[in-house]
């Protein structure tokens, strides 16, 4: 089967916007499988291959993926980069070598943020990774809108293909989690009236228990207690819970508070 026959495979891509991971001229099936596995670990499912050296499908890739290739859907294979990213409106090359081109250069965090911004309107984006031995060539990079470069040691900058995919897959998932957390409304902090009510209730109980000793340290001790409770940023429910605790402790001494 020729590479072109893989181009029209009907792949079910999850509705959650995500980048296509494009492995350009990968050499070892094991690396393809490992890349697919780490993609699945972080919820990425769109794996595309450009002219894999040993053809496709590859039994070694299937084995190394630990089932990820089957679970994430068919891998699409293309004869060149242009066809692999034809449906993408934005593509970044992941490479340690900065080229003599006018390209914006991003770190993994900034790069993922830029890609994510483009997926919000339904646009498809892609990340390109080069072959194990030589990486991406200038022709590949010229088709990309920018470069993502990892902060690796300049004396040993070569990453295994699957490791390189792992870094960006992790950061993509982190960016999703960060976005979801930002969309979650924080719990409403108790009003100052409620907080002060708790302070006075607690201080009265502590006064009855003769906690404030010696007397000259009374103001400082009260201040420290209030500061600690204010730092906790208690909600209305938490204030009610603490006042219930104070009442229960007071009753335990046979007192009403």
What are the tens digits of pLDDT across the range 154-203? 788 778 999 999 999 999 988 776 666 555 555 678 888 889 899 999 99
CATH of the domain at 41: 3.40.1280.10
| Same structural domain, 164 and 108 | yes
| Same structural domain, 80 and 163 | yes
| Same structural domain, 109 and 40 | yes
Q: Which residues of the chain have pLDDT under 50?
A: 1-11, 13-14, 257
In-domain check, residue 257: no
**Could you tell me the residue range of the domain that residue 212 belongs to?**
192-252
| Same structural domain, 49 and 145 | yes
| Same structural domain, 243 and 136 | no
Domain count along the chain: 2
Q: Name the nearest CA neighbour of 150 among 100, 200, 112.
A: 112
User: Which domain-ending residue is among 138, 156, 183?
Assistant: 183
| Same structural domain, 139 and 69 | yes
| Same structural domain, 27 and 117 | yes
């Amino acid at each position: 089967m020729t590479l072109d026959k893989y181009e029209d495979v009907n792949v079910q891509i999850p509705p959650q916007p995500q980048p296509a991971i494009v492995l350009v001229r990968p050499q070892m099936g094991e690396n393809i499988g490992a890349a697919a596995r780490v993609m699945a670990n972080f919820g990425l499912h769109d794996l595309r291959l450009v002219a894999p050296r040993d053809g496709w499908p590859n039994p070694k890739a299937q084995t190394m993926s630990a089932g990820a290739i089957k679970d994430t859907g068919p891998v699409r294979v293309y004869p060149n980069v242009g066809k692999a990213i034809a449906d993408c409106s934005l593509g970044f090359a992941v490479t340690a070598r900065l080229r003599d081109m006018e390209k914006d250069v991003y770190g993994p965090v900034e790069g993922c943020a830029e890609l994510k911004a483009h997926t919000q309107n339904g646009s498809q984006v892609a990340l390109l990774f080069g072959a194990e031995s030589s990486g991406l060539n200038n022709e590949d990079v010229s088709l990309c809108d920018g470069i993502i470069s990892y902060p690796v040691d300049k004396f040993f900058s070569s990453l295994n293909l699957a490791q390189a995919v792992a870094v960006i897959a992790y950061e993509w998932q982190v960016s999703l989690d960060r976005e979801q957390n930002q969309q979650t409304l924080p719990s409403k902090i108790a009003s100052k009236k409620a907080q002060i009510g708790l302070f006075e209730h607690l201080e009265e109980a502590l006064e009855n228990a003769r906690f404030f000793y010696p007397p000259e340290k009374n103001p400082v001790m009260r201040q420290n207690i209030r500061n600690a409770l204010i730092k906790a940023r208690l909600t209305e429910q938490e204030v009610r819970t603490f006042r219930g605790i104070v009442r229960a402790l007071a009753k335990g001494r046979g007192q009403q508070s």
